[in-house]
Chains A and B, each alone.
Chain A
Amino acid sequence: MLFEHAKMLKALAAVGEIVGRKKLQKMIYIAKKMNFPFYEKFDFHFYGPYSEELTLRIEELCNVGFVQEMREKKGGYYQYRYALTEAGEQFLTHYNLDMPDLDVCLRSLNEQSARFLELVSTILYFEDLSKDEVKEKVFTLKSKQRYTEEEIEEAYRYIEQLREQAYIKS
């Protein structure tokens, strides 16, 4: 019961703070693709994989005071920072969630930029396609982001690294 909420708090506890809604979405999506047990449903939106269910879950956690959402103006839009509150930490004690591998994965993801995670998550979304087809998708669907061949290669290397970590630790 409320196990999925607890997992989300656990994710925040692992990294301390996540800056940006996009980053939060992409981190959970990528962790899910690395076979960590997140069950929020994602589908493809203009900015890559997005889960309305995840957005709602975070809102619920904010509304009950387990997650603090801080809004700050950045350029033409607002940016949001998310952190676990003391009440959230206390809530987590009701659950036995020991996921050290997840912590490692999320910390690594949190060190990346939102732009890079958008690319990584897009590649993972199309992982059933060949590499050339994936590149074509990135160049057409993400034309405004102007990703380069080098960035795409870097993203593939990063995915490989995440998979190795997940594999070694499991």
Chain B
Amino acid sequence: MKPALTARQAGLLSCHVCGQLAQAPLEAGQSMRCPRCAAPLHQRKPASINTTWALLVAAALLYLPANLLPIMVTSSPVNHQVDTIMSGVIFLWRDGQWPLALVVFFASVVVPLLKILALVYLTASVQMRSRHRVMQRARLYRVVEFVGRWSMLDIYVITLLVALVQFRGLATVDAGPAAVAFGAVIVLTMFAALTFDPRLIWDPLTDSESADHD
């Protein structure tokens, strides 16, 4: 079987934006732009592992206030209800609206947590140059990339409810501090997924063949 050849082994850079291949500069560390679309060219995303770690740590820290602080405050003449993300889900569930409770639970609780855990696993395995389950990890990355955006759900719900339900004396809805933390978690994890370079998952496979040479 002919060994697989990557662009890096062939001394080529492929543009992250348009896919154009270009000859890598002879001197390492030289910066270069894509001849076709003028995007900066890199062999791999620069400082991918460190940047992803930093974003993940920040996201994990903010995940706590996002889930512990109140996200929504509902007031009416008869009650004053302070909800965290989870208590909002439980309220919906007890109310018999379990399909909705499940949607919110997955989008707001499960997806951000799994996304952080999955990216931690991917970044750690890449850092340790693991050669196990390469295909599964490549698939996991695709899922993480696709599913992360749906966490914005709760942010939009709050935006609409807070704007709409402002009937003084009857019912009002206000946003709590968790909304800011939660928004930050989403933005940080999206950046973490963007800075992670999936090619690093595959690199150990081809490095073994050329490790002696460079």
Tell whether A pairs with B. no
Name A's B-contacting residues (CB within 8 A).
none
Name B's A-contacting residues (CB within 8 A).
none
